[in-house]
Amino acid sequence: MDRDAKVEVAGRVVTAEQDTGKLENEVSSAIRWSAVNSLLQRLAAVGISVLLARLIAPEQFGVFAVALVVLNIVLSVSELGVSAALVRHNGPVEEMAPTVTTLSLASGTLLALICFLGAPWFSGAMDAPEATGVIQLMSVALVIAGATAVPGAMMQRNFRQDHKFYADTAAFVVGTAVAVVLAIMGFGAWSLAWQRIAQNLSAAVIMFWLTDDRFRPGWNSARAKELLAFGLPLAGSSLLIFGVMNVDYIVVGALLGTVPLGFYLLAFNLASWPVAAFSAPVRSVSLAAFSKVREDPDLFQRSFGRALGLLALVTVPACVLLAALAEPLVRVVYGERWAPAAAALALLVLLGAVRVALELGYDFLASAGRSRAILVIHLVWLGALVPLLALGAHLDGIRGVAAAHVVVAVLVITPAYLITFKPYGVRAGALGARLLRPFLGGVLMVAVVIAVRNVVDSQLLQILLGGVLSCLAYALVVFPMRHEIIAVLRKRAGA
């Protein structure tokens, strides 16, 4: 009897190890696809943004920024957070997915109608009445988002980032063609709006084509109650996240005008490059991956620390280079007329680095079912941020706005996340140990870049020489971490 029990236990252990190996293999493959996707998309997007910045005037970017604010507000809650519940669910989805389809499509359509009718009011409140038509056009994206919520969630749940790569590539090619042609024809902000619609439609077509699991709208009252109980706090958090990441546009537009808003938009988009290039690939799988291991407390907390350490390893040098070389980068790449954007870029890059950690923490808490804690954290974030943004704009323009962002993220929200992590065994000291070498390497990079900029006059040489030498200095500091990286790679290869 005892022997049979031991054999059975051993069999279960082997099965668990096999399941863990399969999961790590799927996650590794998904991250590779997502990393390639994000890197190519960001590199291509930077090139296109440079071209469009030379074809479209800064004030037109400001008009588009106003419309983008409206779109992002409603997109943040367009599917009521129920798609995340679908990703997090570990069981069969056949009973849940039709209800998710109904909720996401209905909410997306309703919000699109509200957005269309409310466009004149919002554009007037932002003192940009010319943005009304652009807002109304971009509201179509809400219907598309509602229709693709379930296919997108299934791709994420099944770690099919290769399919997302195909969808994003098609969207980029079609959207870029539309934007460039319309910009050359002189459509200004409208060219950027049509680009967004073309991208969403193209991605939707590819997603539906590649997704094997298709679910028609349906309704299950019990499932709907369960979905909304989990999803609505996340939807509220998403709305607050949007507020946190976009209320600065409102403050800059209302207090400083559309031209500074155009400069600020460029700086914020450029500063978000490390987040999109490095955080996005991990976030594309982190919610599903954390959810798979949440029943094992030790593995659950270790998975977060390891993911954060590896993210910091690649994020820190990218952020340091953007921040330390902000002025020559903007002048050389975008042209002299965009030079004022550099004033906010360095600080916004620091915000981007903090966001990488906080967004991973968001997925960790969501996988644990702590959607209400996430809601409270972001409510505090927005409440603390708004008055400081207005003060920053009054004291130091767009640079003051960027500084306010950093202060709140570092001094208020990071401690809030650390407090919420405690029940899961995630400790600040352990995380700090994992981040120490990347941090010290980043400090050394800053010193090297400053030295190069003091010695070299040419801005192009400052970028090239400062970038190469600072990266070499960083590599020397983080070199001992190679053992951990090699161990992770070997483990995945063995899986």
DSSP string, 203-259: HHHHHHHH-S--------HHHHHHHHHHHHHHHHHHHHHHHHHHHHHHHHHHHT-HH
Flag whether 203 is in a domain.
Answer: yes
Residues 128, 258: contact at Cβ < 8 Å?
Answer: yes
Note the pLDDT tens digit of each residue in 177-228. Answer: 888 888 888 777 788 888 888 888 888 888 888 877 777 777 777 777 777 7
Specify the pLDDT at position 30.
Answer: 59
CA dist 447 and 112 (Å) reads 49
Specify the pLDDT at position 34.
Answer: 62
* Residue 10 burial (10 A CB sphere; 0-12, 13-18, 19+): exposed
What would the two tokens of residue 390 be?
Answer: 């207005």
Specify the pLDDT at position 312.
Answer: 86
Residue-range definition of the domain harbouring residue 174: 56-219
CA dist 346 and 326 (Å) reads 6
Residues 193, 134: contact at Cβ < 8 Å?
Answer: yes
Instruction: Give which of 102, 103, 108, 110 is closest to 216, Cα–Cα.
Output: 102
Flag whether 123 is in a domain.
Answer: yes
Flag whether 118 is in a domain.
Answer: yes
Q: Is the pTM of this model over 0.85?
A: no
For 279, which DSSP code?
A: I
Average pLDDT, consecutive stretches of 10 residues, N- to C-terminus, the chain (495 residues): 37 43 57 64 66 69 71 64 67 75 82 84 76 83 81 75 81 85 80 84 86 76 74 71 80 84 86 75 73 78 84 88 89 85 89 89 85 88 93 92 94 94 87 88 92 89 90 85 51 46
Flag whether 158 is in a domain.
Answer: yes
For 94, which DSSP code?
A: T
Flag whether 208 is in a domain.
Answer: yes
The full length of the chain comes to 495
Over the chain, what is the mean pLDDT?
78
CA dist 307 and 367 (Å) reads 15
Helix axes 342-367, 280-293, angle to 10 degrees: 20
* Start-end of H helices in 325-370: 326-329, 342-367
Flag whether 254 is in a domain.
Answer: no
Q: Which residues contact 371 (CB under 8 A, 6 or more apart)?
A: 81, 230, 231, 233, 234, 237, 365
Residues 249, 122: contact at Cβ < 8 Å?
Answer: no
- Count how many domains the chain has: 1
Flag whether 188 is in a domain.
Answer: yes
Residues 62, 262: contact at Cβ < 8 Å?
Answer: yes
Flag whether 400 is in a domain.
Answer: no
